[in-house]
A and B are shown apart, each in its own frame.
Chain A
Amino acid sequence: MKRLALVLPLLLAAPALPQDSVPGVVTVELETLKSKHLAVQVKVNGKGPFRLIFDTGAPVTLISNRVAKDAGLEAPRGLMGMGGEVAVESFEVGAAKAEGTKVMVFDHPTVQRLAKAVGDLDGIVGFSFFAQFETTIDYQARKLTLIPIGYKPVPLMERLQRMIGGGRRDPARAVISRPVLLGLELEGETSVVKSVAPGGSAEAAGLTSGDKITGFDGRWIENARDLLDAVRLLAPGESVPVRVARDGKEIELNIRTRSGV
């Protein structure tokens, strides 16, 4: 349940875009720092530009206290000077603008140390910003291409609090959920098909008992968990490639997913 509550918004949520979001494609200059980090120019509530690290490995967006003050942001104070996530009215990376981007106000010590070597740095642009776009990073051309996709990421703190806080109140198991019914059962923890349900989509795809599934939706499958992790991301009505080892040969099939439990 909780698991699904966390995952579903990621898979399904497509709320409307903020009204004055930039439509279409926006290209942004990327600066490669001598440390080999990528940096972009950012305006917060119209103030700036400030130079921030662009970081696909950061689930949150951080801005320094200096920027927060300039932008008139008041963030809740937390441990060691870190605040919680606050929504910023306007967050611009180059010409790409997003409203309501969640940021954390925090002078990250590593960013500060790095700034001593490469010049001013005022934070990190992370998932809470770039997940609102289809993002293309071209290191060679030093360009970032951003296309708004109307996706609002769930704030990380909210997710973690639900995960951890929820787990404390009710140490419930996490269930790996799926919105489709393939109609197949595996042998134990393996990826070998034990049985297919008559009339189900696995049977329609040509899967049969004894097949060892080795690939699914372009992913490597070595065991039952791999397949569960792949299936949880599917939606009903998709055509998905399946690789199976049968009689010493690898064959490729296609499964049409159906809505079911």
Chain B
Amino acid sequence: MTAVRWLGTMLLLGSAALPQDTQVKGDDGTRIPYRLTDTQHILVRAKVNGKGPYNFILDTGAPTLFINPKAGEEIGLKVDGKWAKVERFEIEGGAVVENADARVEEPFQLSGMNAMGLPGARLDGVIGYTVAARFRITFNPKKRSMIWRKLDFDPPKPPDAKELMGEEGAGGGQNRMMEMLTRMMSGLMGGGRPAPVPQGAIGFEVERLDGAVTIAKVHDGSPAALAGLRAGDVVTELAGKPVKTEDELFKHAAGVAAGDEVKIAVERGGETLRVTLKAGGGM
């Protein structure tokens, strides 16, 4: 368990041979959708030379763009040393950087997290300084998108890690040790988590009436309709748990997958009705 404490920090040093002709496109204030991984990393998606999308972590603690070698191979990147030229790096939402240099290697933090399945999504790389510094980036965890504004700024090349910190550089022995440790932990924990399944559809909309969670509409042909639920019914239990608020309803429904049998209790005309239905595959 303690080893997971290592996973967070992305402090990677490398060197970016940044060409003069790097170009940036993106309107003022481009909305960049993101999601937070289960490990609280800011995940954005990007297409690399039209391939993908791939999952990247936004990381001001990384000096350059990193792409893991497996993705690099899929994309068909020509790797020279550990470096490759990305002709077009398009971030979901519309920010584009052309002729970006990428380091094609998997930072040990990513391999460790990927092996354990901790983030809840496969991570293909890291967006660091040479891409991120071309934008003014606003992040608010209460919003589903960041705002990226293009800067008239050509980030200078980060120095070579060896030059800066000697032979051990960033890829020092301790990092390799950490990678081994995270891989070992992943073995102990069964190597990743099961693939998630979608929540099942029951088929009614709700509203709050007189402090009660009330069915506002039942979708025709839905499991709820087939079970005889009607608009006006007050939901009191779902999946064996009491429902007093919409949040409670969502919380209990969030454990119901498509195909699951669900018991629901409603009040109608002063009586309690209990039905059992099978959740459908809709959303």
A113 neighbours in B (Cβ, 8 Å): 165, 168, 170, 172
Cβ-defined contact, A184 with B282, below 8 A: yes
* A178 within 8 A of partner (CB): yes
Cβ-defined contact, B251 with A8, below 8 A: yes
Chain B nearest Cβ from A254, distance in angstroms: 16
Cβ-defined contact, B58 with A57, below 8 A: yes
Chain B nearest Cβ from A257, distance in angstroms: 10
* A18 within 8 A of partner (CB): no
A229 neighbours in B (Cβ, 8 Å): 35
* B187 within 8 A of partner (CB): no
B133 neighbours in A (Cβ, 8 Å): 36, 139-140
Chain B nearest Cβ from A83, distance in angstroms: 9
Cβ-defined contact, B217 with A163, below 8 A: no
**Docked CA distance A34–B253 (Å):** 51
Cβ-defined contact, A57 with B137, below 8 A: no
In the complex, which residues 201-223 of chain B have their Cβ closer than 8 Å to any Cβ of chain A?
201-207, 216-217, 219-222
Chain A nearest Cβ from B7, distance in angstroms: 8
Give B56-74 as 1s and 0s: 1 = Cβ < 8 Å from A's Cβ atoms: 0111111100000000000
- Partner among A14, A110, A165, A227 whose Cβ is within 8 Å of the Cβ of B175: A110
- Partner among B33, B57, B136, B165 whose Cβ is within 8 Å of the Cβ of A117: B165
Give A177-189 as 1s and 0s: 1 = Cβ < 8 Å from B's Cβ atoms: 1110111111000
| Total residue contacts A-B, CB cutoff 8 A | 296
Q: Is the interface of A mostly helix, strand, loop or mixed?
A: mixed
In the complex, which residues 126-160 of chain A have their Cβ closer than 8 Å to any Cβ of chain B?
126-127, 130-131, 134-141, 149, 151, 153, 156-157, 159-160
- Partner among A54, A168, A199 whose Cβ is within 8 Å of the Cβ of B219: A199
Stretch binding the partner chain, chosen from A19-27, A64-72, A93-101, A212-220: A212-220
Cβ-defined contact, A79 with B253, below 8 A: no
Chain B nearest Cβ from A25, distance in angstroms: 12
Chain A nearest Cβ from B279, distance in angstroms: 9
A260 neighbours in B (Cβ, 8 Å): 204-206, 216-217
A28 neighbours in B (Cβ, 8 Å): none
Chain B residue with Cβ nearest A179? B250
B39 neighbours in A (Cβ, 8 Å): 59, 156, 159-160
* B126 within 8 A of partner (CB): yes
Cβ-defined contact, B140 with A135, below 8 A: yes
B41 neighbours in A (Cβ, 8 Å): 57, 59, 127
A164 neighbours in B (Cβ, 8 Å): 1, 4, 189
- Partner among A54, A131, A139, A197 whose Cβ is within 8 Å of the Cβ of B282: A197
Cβ-defined contact, A3 with B254, below 8 A: yes
* A17 within 8 A of partner (CB): no
Q: A136-B136, A138-B136, A179-B250 are in contact. Are A197 and B220 (CB under 8 A)?
A: yes
Please give 20 more A-B residue pairs, beta carbons under 8 A apart, in addition to A140-B151, A218-B92.
A4-B254, A4-B255, A8-B250, A34-B159, A37-B129, A57-B10, A79-B3, A108-B11, A114-B13, A135-B138, A137-B139, A138-B151, A139-B136, A140-B133, A175-B255, A198-B220, A219-B92, A231-B283, A260-B217, A261-B256
The 9 closest A-B pairs by CB, nearest first: A57-B59, A55-B61, A177-B254, A57-B10, A4-B254, A197-B219, A260-B205, A59-B40, A1-B255
